[in-house]
Amino acid sequence: MKKLLLATAFSALSTSSAFADIKVGILHSLSGTMAISETTLKDTMLMLIDQQNAKGGINGEKLVPVVVDPASDWPLFAEKARELLTVEKVDVIFGNWTSVSRKSVLPVIEELNGLLFYPVQYEGEESSKNVFYTGAAPNQQAIPATDYFLEELGVEKFALLGTDYVYPRTTNKILEQYLKDKGTAEGDIFVNYTPFGHSDWSKIVADVVALGADGKKVGVISTINGDANIGFYKELAAAGISADDIPVVAFSVGEEELAGLDTSNLVGHLAAWNYFQSAEGDANAEFIKTWKATMGEKRVTNDPMEAHYIGFNMWVNAVTAAGTTDVDAVRTAMYGQKFPNLTGGMAEMLPNHHLSKPVLIGEIQADGQFDIISQTDEVPGDAWTDFLSESAVLKSDWKELGCGMYNTVTKSCVQIKSSY
C-alpha cells in the first residue's frame, strides 16, 4: 500500500507501486439485529467512495472499499477490525454503530494505530487518539432533548428506556444526575434496560403508563437500539398511547428505522439528532437526489449518513493536505478541518476528536419524515460530561496536550489509551 501520494520522488522502477490504491475499510453489520441501521451506512460509504473516484480519487489514486460483515457480534467487530488492518491493510476504517462494538474495536485500532471514523451518537466519556467521533456527544443530543422535555413540554416524570449496553447505561447515568440537578426527584425517574432484539414490551409500556397515575406529565427518553424499536413503538400504538399522552424522544430512531413501521400512530413523537432528511437547503437536496438516484427512490437519508458524509470528506481533505494516508500525519491534518454540513452550517473537527454540530429535534410525521421543531447553532462536542463530578474535571486535547483524558485540576494526563 502506497502511503506517499506525491509521486515526484519515485523512480521508474517503483512507479507501479507508486499508484497503488487507497483502501477504505467499511466495518458495519450487514446481518443480525443492527443490520436495520448499519446496512445503510455501508451503502452510504460506497456511494461516497464512488463519488470521490469520479473526481479522480485522491491526488490521482483510486479509493477501493473493503467491506466486511461483523454481523452484530461484538467480539467479531474486533476480529474484523484486525483483519482490515493487518490482512487487507486498509488506510482508514469507517464503521460501527453501537458503543459496545466500538469498545470492542478500540484496543485493536490503538494497538495497530488504525484510524476509525465513528458516525453515531454515543455516551461520551471517551476520547481515543485513533477515533474521530462524527456523531453526537451527550451535550449535542441527550441533554438538549431533556431540556426540551422540561422546558417546552412540562414533563415532570421521566422513563429512561434503553437497550442493555454501555451507551444507554452511561447516557442515562448522565441524564439521571442532570435531572436531579434540575430538581427532579429520584422517585420520578424510572429506568429500564432490555436486551438487543427485545420484543415483548407490554409490561414495560404498562409500567410507563402507571408512572403517571398521580397525574404528573410523563415523558420517555429512549436509547433503545436496533430492531427492538419496532416492537416498542408497536406496543405504544396497541396501548393507545399518543404523543400528547406520553411523548417519546428517541436517540436511535431515524428515517431508516421508521421506514419499516406503520407511523400513523407515532405522529407527534420526537427524535433528537443533528440532521433530518427534511432539512431545507441546496446541499441536502443534492445529497438526497444523489442517494435516491443511486439506491432507489424509496430509500431515505438519516443522521449517521450525514456523519459519514462529513467525516469522509474531512478525511479526504486531510489526506490531500498531508500528502499521505499515514495515520499520524492525517490525524494532525484533521484538526481544524471544516466542511459544510447538510443543515446549512459548518462542521469543524475539534482537538478532542469531536465535531461541532447543530442540535435538531424533530416530530414524527405520518409519512415517516420529521418536522424540525427545534434547531440550534453548532454546539462543540464534549468528550467528558460536565454533569458527573469525576468527569467535569477532565478534558481532551490531542492537538496541544497529546492527551484524551487530561485532569485540569492536577494538570496531568490520566491515560493515553482508552478504557475498554
Can you give 251-320 as a three-state secondary structure string? CCCCHHHHCCCCHHHCCCCEEEECCCCCCCCHHHHHHHHHHHHHHCCCCCCCHHHHHHHHHHHHHHHHHH
The domain boundary residue, chosen from 358, 388, 413 = 358
Let me know whether 267 and 285 are in one domain. no
Residues 6+ positions from 49 with CB-CB distance below 8 Å = 24, 63, 64, 65
Q: What is the pLDDT of residue 420?
A: 59
Q: What is the pLDDT of residue 225?
A: 87
Are both 210 and 262 inside the same structural domain? yes
Would you state the cell numbers that stand for residue 82, as one nine-digit string?
484486525
* Whether the Cβ atoms of residue 149 and residue 247 lie closer than 8 Å to each other: yes
Domain co-membership, 35 together with 95? yes
pLDDT at 263: 87
Helix axes 35-54, 303-322, angle to 10 degrees: 40
The three-point CA angle 312-119-348 to 5° equals 60
Q: Are residues 268 and 145 in the same domain?
A: yes
pLDDT in tens, 301-350: 999 999 999 999 999 999 999 999 999 999 999 999 999 999 999 999 99
Radius of gyration for the chain, computed over Cα atoms and rounded to the nearest angstrom: 21
> Residues 146, 236: one domain?
yes
pLDDT the model gives residue 259 = 86
pLDDT for res 14: 31
**Domain match, 151 and 32 both:** no
Q: 150 and 269 in one domain?
A: yes
Residues 153 and 344: their CA atoms lie apart, in Å, by 27
Higher per-residue pLDDT: 243 or 6: 243
| Per-position DSSP letters for 372-419, written without gaps between them | EEEE-S-EE--SS-SSSHHHHTEEEETTTT-EEEEETTTTEE--SSPP
Question: Is 375 domain-assigned?
Answer: no
Query: Is residue 249 situated within a structural domain?
Result: yes
- Tens digit of each residue's pLDDT (9 = 90 or more) over 36-45: 899 999 999 9
Q: Are residues 148 and 265 in the same domain?
A: yes
Whether residue 8 has pLDDT greater than 90: no
Cα 237 to Cα 192, 220, 333: the distances in Å are 19, 14, 49
At 86 the three-state DSSP class reads: helix
Q: Is the pLDDT of residue 18 over 90?
A: no
Q: In which band, very low, low, confident or very high, does the pLDDT at 226 lie, cut at 50, 70 and 90?
A: confident
> End of a domain among 216, 244, 273?
273
**pLDDT for residue 10:** 32
- One domain, residues 100 and 162: no
Q: What is the pLDDT of residue 380?
A: 98
Residues 332 and 246 in one domain: no
Q: Is residue 371 assigned to a domain?
A: no
Look at the chain and count its residues. Answer: 420
Answer whether 346's CB lies under 8 Å from 318's CB: no
CATH code, 123 = 3.40.50.2300
- Could you report the per-residue pLDDT of 59-108, keeping only the tens digit for each? 999 999 999 999 999 999 999 999 999 999 999 999 999 999 999 999 99
Amino acid at position 229, single letter: N
Q: What is residue 231's three-state secondary structure?
A: helix
Q: Are residues 230 and 285 in the same domain?
A: no
Cα 409 from Cα 412, distance rounded (Å): 8
Place of cell 406503520: 262
Strand-pairing partners, residue 64, are 23
Question: For residue 218, what are the domain limits?
Answer: 140-273
The neighbour count for residue 185, using CB atoms within 10 Å, is: 10
What is the bridge-based pairing of β-strands 370-375 and 379-380?
unpaired
Domain assignment present for 383: no
pTM here is 0.92
User: Is residue 11 very low, low, confident or very high in pLDDT (cuts 50, 70, 90)?
Assistant: very low
Among 340, 358, 376, the domain boundary falls at 358
Regarding whether 131 and 27 lie in a shared domain, the answer is yes
Number of domains forming the structure of the chain:
2
- What percent of the chain is predicted at pLDDT more than 70? 95
Residue 148 amino acid letter: Y
Grid cell of 184 as nine digits: 427532579
The alpha helices in 187-279, defined as continuous H runs, are 202-211, 228-238, 255-258
Tell me which residue of 301, 352, 359, 330 sits closest to 121, measured CA to CA: 359
Span 132-174, pLDDT tens digits: 999 999 999 999 999 999 999 999 999 999 999 999 999 999 9
C-alpha cell at 200: 415483548
CA dist 345 and 327 (Å) reads: 28
